[in-house]
């Protein structure tokens, strides 16, 4: 026996109304604008007025979606972490390539992403990590969690490389993955500073040599 639908004239449960297409589009526009501005200039130097202007929405719309700039930053961390993890997995899931070649494919794609914007944009997670002293303390746990979400599939790839003999068995894959992301974030910062891909390429080549010996 199936339950009948509730009468249409009953009141809706209390709470925020469901977001319609316009509200969803506005939120996406704010997230996009936030990612652009914060990857270029950082959190502390960008104001809400700049974000709403770039997104083409009102300040009221901003506060409809986010209680504060701090809450907006949390949403950006989550969105960027998921976006970049998906980008990483697309490379690491390429089973036609050997494990280290998959990781190399990721670095090539990431370099192309920086080159597309003239190396003006860095990594949101790295940028915020450098500003941590001026940010809400709760960001610290969130940033570490994002890095760990990137490190885990990287470690799995390196572990597979050990199974095939490509990566030296002397390495701890988890520690090696952490080293990769620590070094890669530094290389991204240097590439943004120099406005060229040299630091990214040198780090990728050096990491591969380290992993195999």
Q: What are the φ and ψ backbone dihedral angles of 119, each rounded to 5 degrees? A: 60, 30
> What's the confidence (pLDDT) of residue 179?
98
Tell me the per-residue pLDDT of 7-16, one tens digit each, with 9 for 90 and over.
434 344 444 5
CA distances (Å), origin 14, targets 17, 18, 63, 177: 8, 11, 20, 47
Give me the residue label for tokens 């589009």. 25
Looking at CATH, the fold of the domain delimited by 68-212 is given as: Tetracycline Repressor; domain 2 (1.10.357)
- Which residue ranges make up each domain of the chain? 68-212
Closest listed residue to residue 112, CA positions, set 121, 124, 125: 121
- Using H for helix, E for strand and C for coil, what is the string for 26-60? HHHHHHHHHHHHHHHHCCCCCCHHHHHHHHCCCHH
Do you know the residue count of the chain? 213
User: Residue 30 is encoded by which pair of tokens?
Assistant: 């704010």
Tell me how crowded residue 58 is: count the other CB atoms within 10 A of its CB: 11
> What's the confidence (pLDDT) of residue 23?
80
Closest listed residue to residue 184, CA positions, set 103, 116, 87: 103
Distance in angstroms (rounded) separating the CA atoms of residues 105 and 115: 15
In terms of C-beta distances under 8 Å and separation of at least 24 residues, what long-range contacts does 197-203 make, across chains too?
197/111, 197/114, 197/115, 197/119, 200/107, 200/110, 200/111, 200/114, 201/111
Residues near 19 by Cβ (< 8 Å), separated by ≥ 6? 27
Contact criterion met (CB below 8 Å) for 57 and 26: yes
> What's the confidence (pLDDT) of residue 20?
76
Tell me the per-residue pLDDT of 83-112, one tens digit each, with 9 for 90 and over.
999 999 999 999 999 999 999 999 999 999
Residues of the chain with pLDDT under 70: 1-19
The percent helix, strand, coil of the chain (3-state, each to 5) is 70, 0, 30
Distance in angstroms (rounded) separating the CA atoms of residues 157 and 103: 8
């Amino acid at each position: 026996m199936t339950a009948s639908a509730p009468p249409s004239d009953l009141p809706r449960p209390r709470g925020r109304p469901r977001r319609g297409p316009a509200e969803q589009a506005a939120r996406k526009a704010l997230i996009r604008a936030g990612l652009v501005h914060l990857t270029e200039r950082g959190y502390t130097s960008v104001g809400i007025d700049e974000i709403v202007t770039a997104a083409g929405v009102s300040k009221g719309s901003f506060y409809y979606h986010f209680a504060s700039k701090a809450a907006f930053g949390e949403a950006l961390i989550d969105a960027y972490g998921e976006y970049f993890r998906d980008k990483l997995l697309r490379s690491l899931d390429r089973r036609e390539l050997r494990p280290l070649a998959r990781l190399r494919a990721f670095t090539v794609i990431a370099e192309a992403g920086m080159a597309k914007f003239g190396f003006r944009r860095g990594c949101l997670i790295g940028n915020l990590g450098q500003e941590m002293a001026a940010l809400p303390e709760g960001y610290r746990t969130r940033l570490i969690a994002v890095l760990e979400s990137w490190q885990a599939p990287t470690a799995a790839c390196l572990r597979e490389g050990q199974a095939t003999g490509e990566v030296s068995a002397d390495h701890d894959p988890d520690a090696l993955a952490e080293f990769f992301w620590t070094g890669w974030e530094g290389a991204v910062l240097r590439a943004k500073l120099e406005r060229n891909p040299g630091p990214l390429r040198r780090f990728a080549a050096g990491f591969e040599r380290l992993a195999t010996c």
